[in-house]
Homo-oligomer: A and B are copies of this chain.
Amino acid sequence: MDLPLKGIIPPLITPLKNVDRLDIPGLERLIEHVLGQGVHGIFLLGSNGEGPSLSYVLRKELIERACLIIDGRVPVLVGISDTSLEGSLEIARTAAKCGADAAVVAPPYYFPLDQEQLVDYYRLLAGKLPLPFFIYNMPGFTKIGMTVETVRMIREAGALGIKDSSGDLFFFYSLIETFKDDPDFALITGTEMFLPDAIFHGGHGAVPGGANIFPGLFVRLYEASLDRDLEEVEKLRKKVMDVYNMLYSVSPHPSAIPVAIKTALAVTGICDDYMAPPLQRMNAAEKDRIAAFLKKTDDLSRLLLDHNA
């Protein structure tokens, strides 16, 4: 894996038939779908991948299968976040064995912690991990945001980069400023809408949930941002905004994004729409709204048709 990690790295949803069964053909189709449209890496078992909702058996099977299918075509990152250190390491060992390139680690999300405890945890983990790691900043789910200083100290403990899903672009800009002389440390935004801003100002890439559905859209937006082609950026950003406003608002529940993504993939025939508890698949009316959006948005659909052809 070249450093820093760059580009569009979809946080792959996990196709499931059931609470303890992968949708393996769906997984194959999904991986070919995103690779076929040029993504630069794949991130397994993040929030969109429902990592924390899956049993260890299922997480390991997903890693094995996905690594086999991807087969080295792009770097593979694996979410190992868990409230149990041993649990994290168990998943990390599987990831290493299967040839994944790096682990992605959010803070343990049960006990409230402070910044010092966070840094200590990452240091402890770093000494035991069988593969390199990225930081995953996701305060909405883990109850703790990171300060720039904390990220700096975890970098010293060996982190290769950070996926920032705080939604706080100011924090991301502060990271860019802090790590400007450390070109191998990857600054990756988890907020789709901030992709161009992140790239303009020195960030390296994005982990956009929507890239499960429209990988090419995000790849082109990334490239246009790199080229500083503001006109093209505006055009593509509007599509990303449409996806956001139309797809992600269909479910009235929190944690609606992974559900909307999986439903859209089901509607387009890529995989099953089963969600691991506590999330739930959409009802018929919601599914229809997703389908209607996909049908209506002609050029977006064409991106999908490319794939289905």
Query: Is there a chain B Cβ closer than 8 Å to A117's Cβ?
Result: yes
**Contact call B253/A86, Cβ cutoff below 8 A:** no
Q: Taking each of A108, A116, A278, which has the highest tally of chain B beta carbons within 10 Å of its own beta carbon?
A: A278
Q: How far is the CA of A141 from the CA of B90 in the complex (A)?
A: 24
Interface size on A, residues (CB 8 A): 62
**Contact call A117/B278, Cβ cutoff below 8 A:** yes
Q: How far is the CA of A116 from the CA of B256 in the complex (A)?
A: 13
Query: Is there a chain B Cβ closer than 8 Å to A269's Cβ?
Result: no
**Contact call A193/B173, Cβ cutoff below 8 A:** yes
Q: Number of copies of this chain in the oligomer?
A: 4
Query: Which residues from B are CB-within-8-Å of A238?
Result: 177
Query: Which residues from B are CB-within-8-Å of A276?
Result: 84-85
**Contact call B53/A83, Cβ cutoff below 8 A:** yes
From B87, B113, B167, B168, A255 is in contact (CB under 8 Å) with: B113
**Contact call B110/A52, Cβ cutoff below 8 A:** yes
Nearest B residue to A177 via CB reads: B241
Question: Interface 1/0s, chain A 207-242, versus B by CB < 8 A?
Answer: 000000000000000000000101000100110010
21 A-B pairs in the complex with CB atoms less than 8 angstroms apart: A19-B85, A47-B110, A55-B87, A57-B86, A83-B83, A84-B276, A85-B277, A110-B141, A111-B141, A111-B255, A111-B279, A113-B253, A113-B254, A117-B254, A143-B143, A169-B193, A169-B197, A170-B193, A174-B241, A197-B197, A200-B200
- List the interface of chain A (C-beta within 8 A of B): 19-20, 47, 52-58, 83-87, 90, 107-114, 116-118, 120-121, 124-125, 140-141, 143, 167-170, 173-174, 177, 191, 193-194, 197, 200-201, 228, 230, 234, 237-238, 241, 245, 253-255, 276-280
| 19 other A-B residue contacts (CB within 8 Å) besides A56-B87, A177-B238 | A20-B86, A55-B86, A56-B56, A57-B86, A84-B276, A85-B277, A85-B278, A109-B110, A110-B141, A111-B255, A117-B254, A117-B279, A120-B278, A121-B278, A173-B193, A174-B245, A177-B245, A200-B230, A201-B237
